[in-house]
């Protein structure tokens, strides 16, 4: 019996020693995985300073600093041009060391599909999807179009009977949002006459002036004119009704058209970021998403928080790329 007890005791001691070693190894491994930026981080913007997208990025920069979410400076780097292709190329050529990020949107997918660019989400590292901005279909206050169903009926009768104003380029978020809804409704979307303007403001003025019939734009862009009564929104591309001024505007789904589209905003980095970099930034932007100041900005702009992590962001981008490829092929825009 004493011998047996001695063996058991020895065995327990060995087991304790092994567990101690494992604990030490895991602790060392965790320390090795710990990472944070060691020098200023560049947050890349694909548009000029002062634009809406740029203002969003600068707001993020301020909140990262004010919330002390990052221990190093975050520097805005504007690389406008080419429908954000220049910025995407710049990011892809930055080192995969966790010190370069970009706020990406629909052009990250659309540019590759149209042949405007050669890079897409698979050439970068998706980190998180921050928020979704939805698309409003708006008309002048005296337009005979009262609902989204009226628009569908008119396009079904004659797809070329109305003109639609979009900013920047065919295949941008607003153009795709309208096209997806009309495709779902059975409209011959290639025949719809979309008129391209240099930006959302110019497109809005064209509709206000009576030169174009319908405006497809982000909800934030047309909000002041809706509040003043100069324009009416007949449908939004959101999955459910928005709040505030848009609370009375039905979604496409409420009007019998099963179509949802978001002008997403996602944080991406260069291809090749490792788990330490991705994990760090995923945590940082999760913290940002819960800040009261950020939530106020989201509410003010009628955005909706996405707060998707790495895996969810990758899945979303993959599915959205396939969906946009199909509709852009129907439009004759895909290369």
Asked if residue 14 has pLDDT above 50, the reply is: no
Are 42 and 94 in contact by the 8 Å Cβ rule? The answer is: yes
Residue 70: which residues within 8 A CB-CB, separation 6 or more? 37, 41, 64, 284
What is the C-alpha to C-alpha distance for residues 204 and 25, in angstroms, rounded to an integer?
A: 62
- The stretch 60-73 carries a mean pLDDT of 97
- The stretch 48-54 carries a mean pLDDT of 91
Asked if residue 262 has pLDDT above 80, the reply is: yes
- The stretch 54-81 carries a mean pLDDT of 97
Among the ranges given (48-52, 145-149, 327-331), the one the predictor scored with the smallest mean pLDDT? 48-52
List b or e across 299-333, with b for residues whose CB sees 16 or more CB atoms inside 10 angstroms: eebbbbebebbbeebbebbeebbeebeebbeebeb
- The stretch 48-55 carries a mean pLDDT of 91
Return the pLDDT at 11: 44
- The stretch 172-194 carries a mean pLDDT of 98
What is the C-alpha to C-alpha distance for residues 258 and 219, in angstroms, rounded to an integer?
A: 19
Name the segment(s) of the chain with CATH classification 3.40.190.10.
134-255
Both tokens of residue 48? 């000029």
Provide the pLDDT confidence category of residue 153 given band limits of 50, 70 and 90.
very high
Provide the pLDDT confidence category of residue 308 given band limits of 50, 70 and 90.
confident
Return the pLDDT at 85: 96
Residue 229's alpha-carbon distances to 141, 170, 225, 232, in angstroms, are: 7, 28, 6, 7
Asked if residue 319 has pLDDT above 90, the reply is: yes
Asked if residue 3 has pLDDT above 80, the reply is: no
Provide the pLDDT confidence category of residue 27 given band limits of 50, 70 and 90.
very low
Q: In degrees to the nearest 10, what's the CA dihedral of 26, 32, 35, 37?
A: 170
- The stretch 166-194 carries a mean pLDDT of 97
* Average predicted confidence (pLDDT) for the chain: 91
Return the pLDDT at 33: 57
Domain 134-255 has CATH 3.40.190.10: yes
Asked if residue 329 has pLDDT above 50, the reply is: yes
- The stretch 117-132 carries a mean pLDDT of 97
Return the pLDDT at 309: 87
Return the pLDDT at 18: 37
Asked if residue 182 has pLDDT above 80, the reply is: yes
Among the ranges given (30-34, 52-56, 102-106, 165-169), the one the predictor scored with the smallest mean pLDDT? 30-34
Asked if residue 10 has pLDDT above 50, the reply is: no
- The stretch 91-100 carries a mean pLDDT of 97
Asked if residue 177 has pLDDT above 90, the reply is: yes
- The stretch 54-72 carries a mean pLDDT of 97
Say how many C-beta atoms besides its own lie within 10 A of residue 36's C-beta.
Answer: 12
Name the segment(s) of the chain with CATH classification 3.40.190.150.
41-132+262-331
- The stretch 198-204 carries a mean pLDDT of 91
Q: CATH number for 41-132+262-331: choose from 3.40.190.150, 3.40.190.10, 3.40.50.620, 3.50.50.60.
A: 3.40.190.150
Return the pLDDT at 136: 98
């Amino acid at each position: 019996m004493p011998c047996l007890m001695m063996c058991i005791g020895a065995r327990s001691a060995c087991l304790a020693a092994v567990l101690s070693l494992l604990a030490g190894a895991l602790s060392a491994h965790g320390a090795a995985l710990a990472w944070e930026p060691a020098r200023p981080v560049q947050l890349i913007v694909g548009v000029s300073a002062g634009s809406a997208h740029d203002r969003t990025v600068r707001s993020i920069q301020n909140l990262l600093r004010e919330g002390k979410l990052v221990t190093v400076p975050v520097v805005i780097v504007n690389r406008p041009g080419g429908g954000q292709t220049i910025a995407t190329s710049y990011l892809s050529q930055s080192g995969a060391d966790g010190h370069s990020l970009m706020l990406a949107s629909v052009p990250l997918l659309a540019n590759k599909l149209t042949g405007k660019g050669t890079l897409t989400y698979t050439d970068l590292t998706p980190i998180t999807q921050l928020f979704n901005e939805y698309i409003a279909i708006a008309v002048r206050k005296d337009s005979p179009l009262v609902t989204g169903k009226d628009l569908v009926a008119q396009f079904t009768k004659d797809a070329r009977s109305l003109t639609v104003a979009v900013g920047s380029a065919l295949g941008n978020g607003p153009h795709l949002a309208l096209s997806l809804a009309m495709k779902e409704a059975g409209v011959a979307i290639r025949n719809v006459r979309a008129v391209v303007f240099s930006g959302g403001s110019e497109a809005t003025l064209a509709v206000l002036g009576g030169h174009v019939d319908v405006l497809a734009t982000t909800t934030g862009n047309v909000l002041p004119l809706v509040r003043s009564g100069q324009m009416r929104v007949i449908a939004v591309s959101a999955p459910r009704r928005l709040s505030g001024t848009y609370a009375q505007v039905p979604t496409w789904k409420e009007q019998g058209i099963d179509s949802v589209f978001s002008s997403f905003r996602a944080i991406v980095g260069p291809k090749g970021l490792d788990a330490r970099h991705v994990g760090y930034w995923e945590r940082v932007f999760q913290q940002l998403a819960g800040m009261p100041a950020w939530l106020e900005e989201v509410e003010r702009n009628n955005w909706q928080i996405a707060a998707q992590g790495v895996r969810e962001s990758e899945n979303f981008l993959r599915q959205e790329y396939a969906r946009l490829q199909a509709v852009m092929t129907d439009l004759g825009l895909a290369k």
